[in-house]
């Protein structure tokens, strides 16, 4: 029997069964975190036990359906963060060495607590800033640097958790003065430069021949883009040049990224490259307008392929829908700037695209047969039945995306 099971049994034997489920889960999670903090000096002897406790704490509060009071959320967030950065555990050295057994479940506790903060008005700005610096800046740099040398799945998993933490902290701090400090912390730890270097060399850091770290490095940049001055720092780090000239970008420009085998490469383009370009243009405006136009021309083959894919699609995915919608918005923004210079960006194929979108919406059964999930979450959507035997949650979502796309094409035609 594992040590965490002994702890759970002892805890139940002490009469906690009388408490509601939420109360029992919170008490046990807090006990696990507090024990790890108290025994940090003995981590060499108790490492397996501490890892068991950390996993138990996450399992206790990881369910989004669990109702936890906001004061308890703040307490557990503070405890989890303290357990991560306890000096005796040398957290950052462990990251550099690829030892994630203690940190991974604790980071997941942090994500869980931050997601619950969305409903909490009383936030701790100082704690959020500390979390941002230690995890989103310093830890991210360590993990990105390790990924360049040791591109392993567990490193990718850790970076994904850090990105989730970054997204939550940035969203929570959107109207808070501390958000202006985020870029300083990223600069102090060279985090954005580490992400750009990771993207530039990601063709050498593949997992099962897939550019996972190209995707993650760009997602990291996209998650931080709402913070002031981050787009400027990305521009200084020459992200636009690497998007146009690096080996992984050459692959993006020349490959058929819409085959099932290339779904990761497609996500690199749709959920990484395009949002980065859009965020840079939104923030820097006319200063990078002509670089953006050069980007659109350089990737013209890929862009036109996205539009012609709708004529006879082999599969219809949320990635394809996101790609097309973002390109339409990007074209509109570029054109709005060019009109100020009495210039114009020519968007070829909008009439054909509108016709193809209308055709799919007019034949919902045909659309339903083409819809294909690209993630576990989307597979779950496929199981949600909607009106009509052929319609499920994912089909309904993509139909809504196509309606939005039709509206964007209407905007383009004005």
Residues 103-136: pLDDT tens digits?
A: 999 999 999 999 988 645 656 889 999 999 999 9
Residue 62 confidence (pLDDT): 80
| Cα 108 to Cα 161: distance, rounded to the nearest angstrom | 7
Phi-psi region of 343 (alpha: psi -120 to 50; beta: other; left: phi over 0): beta
* pLDDT tens digits, 223-232: 999 999 999 9
Phi-psi region of 26 (alpha: psi -120 to 50; beta: other; left: phi over 0): alpha
**Lowest pLDDT segment from 64-68, 114-118, 249-253, 329-333:** 64-68
Does a structural domain hold residue 107? no
Question: Does residue 153 carry a pLDDT above 70?
Answer: yes
Q: Is pTM, for the whole model, over 0.85?
A: yes
What does DSSP assign to residue 62?
A: -
How far, in Å, are 121, 139, 155 from residue 173 at the CA level?
Answer: 12, 20, 27
| Cα 129 to Cα 181: distance, rounded to the nearest angstrom | 8
Number of domains the chain is built from:
1
| Cα 243 to Cα 234: distance, rounded to the nearest angstrom | 12
Residue 298 confidence (pLDDT): 92
Q: Which residue has the higher pLDDT, 372 or 274?
A: 274
How far, in Å, are 132, 147, 280, 357 from residue 232 at the CA level?
Answer: 19, 25, 8, 36
Are residues 395 and 368 in contact, defined by beta-carbon separation less than 8 angstroms?
Answer: yes
Are residues 78 and 110 in contact, defined by beta-carbon separation less than 8 angstroms?
Answer: no
Query: Average pLDDT for residues 193-219, to the nearest whole number?
Result: 96
| Cα 278 to Cα 270: distance, rounded to the nearest angstrom | 11
Residue 412 confidence (pLDDT): 43
For the record, the structure tokens of 401 come out as: 């995306």
Looking up tokens 């989730």, which residue turns up?
A: 164
Query: Average pLDDT for residues 250-255, to the nearest whole number?
Result: 90
Question: Does residue 82 carry a pLDDT above 60?
Answer: yes
* pLDDT tens digits, 168-193: 999 998 877 889 899 999 999 999 99
Question: Does residue 23 carry a pLDDT above 80?
Answer: no
For the record, the structure tokens of 234 come out as: 């990305």
Are residues 408 and 332 in contact, defined by beta-carbon separation less than 8 angstroms?
Answer: yes
Question: Does residue 395 carry a pLDDT above 50?
Answer: yes
Quote the percentage of the chain above a pLDDT of 90: 61
Tell me how long the chain is.
414
Q: With 0-12 CB in 10 A as exposed, 13-18 as middle and 19+ as buried, what is 349? A: middle
Does a structural domain hold residue 304? yes
Question: Does residue 301 carry a pLDDT above 70?
Answer: yes
**Lowest pLDDT segment from 58-72, 155-169, 232-246:** 58-72
Residue 119 confidence (pLDDT): 46
Residue 345 confidence (pLDDT): 66
Among 155-159, 243-247, 264-268, 407-411, top mean pLDDT goes to: 155-159
Give the pLDDT band (50/70/90) at residue 387.
low
Residue 8 confidence (pLDDT): 53
Name the average pLDDT for the chain: 87
Return phi, psi of residue 277, to 5°: -60, -45
Going by C-beta distance under 8 Å and a sequence separation of 6 or more, which residues neighbour residue 261?
Answer: none
Does a structural domain hold residue 358? yes
Residue 93 confidence (pLDDT): 94
Residue 7 confidence (pLDDT): 52
Q: Which domain holds residue 362?
A: 299-414
Looking up tokens 């009469």, which residue turns up?
A: 15
| Cα 176 to Cα 122: distance, rounded to the nearest angstrom | 12
Question: Does residue 212 carry a pLDDT above 90?
Answer: yes
Query: Average pLDDT for residues 356-372, to the nearest whole number?
Result: 91
Residue 13 confidence (pLDDT): 47
Question: Does residue 14 carry a pLDDT above 60?
Answer: no
Residue 259 confidence (pLDDT): 79
| Cα 25 to Cα 57: distance, rounded to the nearest angstrom | 8
Residue 392 confidence (pLDDT): 82
Give per-residue burial for 6-40: e unless 16+ CB within 10 Å, then b: ebbeebeeeeeeeeeebebbbebbbbbbbbbbebb
Question: Does residue 411 carry a pLDDT above 50?
Answer: no
Does a structural domain hold residue 327? yes
Residue 344 confidence (pLDDT): 67
């Amino acid at each position: 029997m594992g040590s965490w099971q002994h702890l759970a049994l002892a805890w139940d034997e002490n009469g906690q069964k009388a408490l509601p489920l939420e109360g029992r889960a919170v008490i046990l999670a807090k006990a696990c975190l507090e024990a790890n903090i108290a025994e940090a000096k003995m981590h060499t002897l108790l490492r397996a036990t501490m890892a068991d406790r950390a996993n138990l704490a996450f399992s206790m509060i990881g369910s989004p359906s669990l109702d936890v009071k906001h004061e308890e959320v703040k307490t557990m967030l503070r405890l989890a963060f303290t357990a991560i950065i306890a000096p005796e555990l040398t957290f950052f050295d462990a990251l550099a060495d690829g030892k994630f057994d203690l940190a991974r479940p604790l980071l997941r506790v942090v994500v869980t607590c931050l997601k619950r903060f969305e409903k909490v008005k009383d936030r701790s700005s100082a704690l959020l800033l500390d979390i941002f610096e230690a995890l989103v800046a310093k830890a991210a740099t360590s993990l990105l640097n390790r990924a360049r040398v040791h591109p392993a799945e567990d490193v990718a998993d850790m970076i994904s958790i850090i990105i989730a933490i970054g997204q939550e902290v940035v969203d929570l701090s959107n109207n808070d003065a501390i958000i202006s400090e985020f870029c300083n912390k990223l600069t102090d730890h060279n985090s954005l430069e580490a992400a750009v270097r990771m993207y530039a060399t990601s063709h050498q850091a593949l997992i099962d021949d897939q550019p996972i770290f190209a995707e993650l490095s760009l997602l990291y940049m996209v998650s931080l883009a709402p913070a002031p001055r981050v787009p400027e720092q990305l521009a200084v780090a020459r992200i636009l040049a690497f998007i146009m000239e690096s080996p992984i970008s050459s692959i993006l420009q020349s490959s058929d990224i819409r085959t099932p085998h290339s779904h990761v490469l497609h996500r690199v383009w749709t959920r990484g490259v395009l949002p980065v370009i859009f965020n840079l243009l939104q923030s820097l405006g006319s200063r990078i307008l002509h670089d953006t136009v050069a980007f659109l021309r350089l990737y013209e083959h890929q862009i036109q392929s996205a539009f012609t894919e709708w004529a006879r699609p082999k599969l219809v995915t949320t990635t394809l829908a996101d790609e097309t919608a973002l390109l339409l918005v990007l074209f509109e923004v570029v054109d709005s700037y060019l009109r100020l210079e009495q210039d114009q960006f020519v968007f070829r194929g909008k009439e054909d695209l509108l016709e193809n979108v209308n055709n799919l919406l007019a034949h919902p059964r045909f659309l339903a047969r083409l819809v294909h999930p690209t993630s576990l979450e989307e597979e779950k959507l496929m199981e949600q039945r909607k009106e009509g035997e052929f319609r499920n949650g994912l089909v309904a979502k993509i139909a809504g995306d196509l309606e939005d796309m039709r509206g964007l094409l209407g905007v383009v035609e004005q």
